[in-house]
Amino acid sequence: MAYSYDDQNIFAKILRGEIPNNTVFENDYALAFRDLYPQAPDHVLVIPKGPYVCYDHFANAASDAEIVGFTRAIGEVCKILGVADDAGEGYRTIANSGEHGVQEVEHLHVHILAGRPLGRMLAKA
């Protein structure tokens, strides 16, 4: 499947510094920032700095360094939020993809949600 990346999406603009954000963590491969419309007390988005549409695009096309750097960024954000160790009460990561996954911005982003009981991920069928 060919992926068409739109470099005018909001996350691309954030990466270029055209739109401000509330940065939580940044490394060479990823940027993590607080969601403007949080769905939990802690709601952070982690995005790769490369032009990847969704997780499978990233997993199949990113370099090993990008994959490691992005994954480590998620781990660092969990440490910063205090949910990564045994004392934490847990968290959820979500990466939506496509229409059925209700992806709103076609730039890979992982939501890290924490700070309250989150309930079931999906309603029982």
The set of catalytic residues is: 109
CA angle 4–9–13, rounded 5-degree value: 130
β-strand 91-94 against 42-48: which pairing, if any?
unpaired
The neighbouring-strand residues paired with 93 are 112
- Rounded CA separation 121/107 (Å): 22
CA-only gyration radius of the chain, Å: 14
